[in-house]
Structure 1
Amino acid sequence: MKKTLTLLLLITTISYSQILEPVKWTTEAKKISDTEYDLIINATIEKNYHLYSQNVPDDGPLPTIFIFEKSNNYELIGSTTEEKGHTIYDPVFKLKIKYFDTKTTFKQRIKLNNKNRFKIIGEIEFMTCNDSNCVPGYGDIEFEI
């Protein structure tokens, strides 16, 4: 029994130590005017992995999605923008798909509805792949203005 418990704990520890996180996210806010800011979301992508665009064809991989918590403190202006990236024919999905490698930046403009200090909270849903596997992911993002 003791050997079984030790083996189970060892397997659990090894499993947790091998959790893949091929994308690291950082955020910042850039003041555009007294009432407008750009929320800047940077993705640093591990070598040999790629992150998919927000706009991928149906039957393709999961797109990158930004969900901002609703608040009376601000409103979104337009949609989240992304860099040019690379568009290739993907033999796995048999589609032309846009992706990013190494690093990329997404931007969301907001308009402030008051001058009080507040936090903007959101979530990122995404998928990243290399030549042998894909890793779906999500994470909380937080800005303070």
Structure 2
Amino acid sequence: MKKILLMIAAVLIGSQAFSQIEKPVKWSFAIKKESNTEATVFLKADIQNSWHIYSLDQKEGGPIKTSFTFLPGADYALIGKTSQPQPHTKFESAFNMKVSYFERSVIFQQKIRLKSGTGVLHGKLEFMTCNDKKCLPPENLDFSIKL
């Protein structure tokens, strides 16, 4: 009986090792108050070596662009659009087009108007991660940041 249990445990542990989900991007979120009425939200992606994510302004017909959706809140209002640093651009044969992307690390920024001194900003992001061999399915991530 013990041998059977050990064999089952070994199979389960082995199958878990082979079914690890790749997560080459880790996100972190922060806010910096510029004044009593304005703040900047920082959305940072730390990207493993050899992987990349796509820019906010990726053209149609290519990979899924990185996008942020900020849910409406009584405590804040968006000022303008989300900004990004200058992305790299290259031709990717998988998409048969030039793509704009980020490697290693990137910080996106969103200015907000504060309507009160407290509250929570809720949002969602979507992004796609690729390397020179494959692309992972697009990911959706919910986030919240205390104001």
5+ long unaligned stretches in structure 2: none
For these two proteins, the number of residue pairs brought into alignment is 143
What letter is aligned with 1:14? A
Partner residue in 2 for 1:118: 119
RMSD: 1.9
Partner residue in 2 for 1:84: 86
Displacement of 1:24 in angstroms is 0.5
Query: Is 2:39 aligned against 1:41?
Result: no
Rg: which structure is higher? Answer: 2
Partner residue in 2 for 1:103: 105
Instruction: Report runs of 4+ in structure 1 exceeding 4 Å deviation.
Output: 2-8
**Aligned in 2, Cα 1:129/1:11: closer, same or farther, shift over 3 Å?**
same
Partner residue in 2 for 1:70: 72
Q: Secondary structure at the match of 2:50?
A: coil
Find the aligned partners of 1:32 and 1:6 in 2 and give their Cα distance: 55
Percent of residue pairs bearing the same amino acid type: 34
Q: Tell me if structure 2 keeps the 8 A contact 1:57–1:95.
A: no
5+ long unaligned stretches in structure 1: none
Q: Secondary structure at the match of 1:13?
A: helix
Q: Tell me if structure 2 keeps the 8 A contact 1:27–1:42.
A: yes
